[in-house]
Amino acid sequence: MAHLSDGTLRRKFDDAGSMTESENRHYTACADCQARYATLAEDAQAVAGALAVPDLKVDVASAFSRVRTAPAQPRFGIRLPIVRPASRPVMGVLAASAVVLALVVTGIAQGLFFHPQSVQVVQVSVADLQSLNGLGGFGTLTWTTQPTPQLVTSAAEAASVSGLHVPAVGNLPSGVSSNVTYAAMPAAVGVFTFDAAKAAATAAKAGKTLPAMPSGMDGSKLTVTVGPAVVEIFGNLNLPTGTGTTTGAAPDPSQLTLPQLVVGESSAPVVTSSGVTTQQLEDYLLSLPGVSPQLAAAIRAVKDPSTTLPIPIPIEYATSTNVTVQGVTGVAVGDNTGLGAGVIWIKSGTVYGVAGTLKQDAILNIANGLK
């Protein structure tokens, strides 16, 4: 008989009667398994002692009263458990990094810079996100067509505003409210202009020295088209909710209520370039202070950067896997705990995303059932 697994031995520590008769016979005769058991039992005892705390005495009635009288929270927004530890600063840079990372990756592409047809994960650390956030100091973004996201009253109106077919969700899982709020946005166009003087000034403020911009990069422009887009938000967003802490902390406007389910659709972003060559841009951006060798390697590893949308995943807080959704490869984030999961994919030049406080299986079912 093979040696007993660590799991079997560990369970024996908690429940001496958990092993089968044959496992017991093996254990009695096997000095190796006995030695392993002694080691893991010592670890288990040490950890149990380390995590011991005095018994907690609670007043359930008072606690329930506090929960019921908790102040209301703002109605819209995001509170993802998987990124909660990072709090506001990281949420901010996460959003910014998605745009900047796209710009960085587009530097590798040729001709028409960037028109993604598929998605790929780029794992980033919090430090990477913070360094990417700083890239905004290397130029100026101006909108030639401002993004104008707006709440609308129906799917038909969302379709009218965006010009997109609004995806219909099939069967909602039990527990998800059928109340739906629609938002829509027409296409927006922004121009990012590299500015050597601004970059130098930003770096000087941070006490850093930058490598010189390649010839022709100063003043060169990236034109980014995002949207149009539609978003469907499922949940009782009008319900008052609260933070409800015994310390009486004021509600934090940045900590907004997470809808149960969000379904989004957007035309894939398109980026074009004038002036700078793609290799110059890549080499320059990836050589900047704060861009870790790991991040640079991850970006260089993107196989077909001109047609791949990078999805920045903070490795400390979220896991991701490739999945097949609607017949194409997508990226799923989160897990099967129900705390939070999402999936994003590109099909026929359109980016789709489904996310919510559901198990990953449920999210994938919804994604595959979109019509």
247 makes contact with other proteins (CB under 8 A): yes
Q: CB of 67: closest distance to other proteins in angstroms?
A: 5
> 231: which 2 tokens?
């978003």
Q: CB of 215: closest distance to other proteins in angstroms?
A: 45
- Edge-first strand order for the sheet with 341-347 is 150-152, 180-185, 229-234, 261-267, 350-356, 341-347, 328-334, 320-325
321 makes contact with other proteins (CB under 8 A): no
The residue assigned the tokens 């990012």 is 192
72 makes contact with other proteins (CB under 8 A): no
178 makes contact with other proteins (CB under 8 A): no
304 makes contact with other proteins (CB under 8 A): no
Amino acid sitting at position 153: T
Nearer to other proteins, 254 or 307 (CB): 254
Task: Choose, by CB under 8 A, the member of 2, 31, 58, 197 that binds other proteins.
Answer: 58
Positive or negative: CA dihedral 345, 350, 351, 356:
negative
56 makes contact with other proteins (CB under 8 A): yes
19 makes contact with other proteins (CB under 8 A): no
26 makes contact with other proteins (CB under 8 A): no
Task: Choose, by CB under 8 A, the member of 46, 112, 141, 297 that binds other proteins.
Answer: 46
Q: Which of 258, 236, 257, 243 is nearest to 67 (CA)?
A: 243
CA 89 – CA 125 distance, rounded (Å): 13
- The piece of 25-33, 43-51, 189-197, 346-354 that touches other proteins (CB under 8 A) is 43-51
Q: CB of 242: closest distance to other proteins in angstroms?
A: 6
- The piece of 91-99, 114-122, 253-261, 287-295 that touches other proteins (CB under 8 A) is 253-261
- The piece of 97-105, 181-189, 245-253, 286-294 that touches other proteins (CB under 8 A) is 245-253
Nearer to other proteins, 31 or 52 (CB): 52
| Contacts of other proteins in 73-132 (CB under 8 A) | 79, 81, 84-85, 87
| Residue 85: partners with Cβ closer than 8 Å, 6 or more residues away | 316, 317
Number of residues that bind other proteins (CB under 8 A): 55
43 makes contact with other proteins (CB under 8 A): yes
Q: CB of 78: closest distance to other proteins in angstroms?
A: 13
Task: Choose, by CB under 8 A, the member of 159, 335, 347, 369 that binds other proteins.
Answer: 335
CA 203 – CA 290 distance, rounded (Å): 11
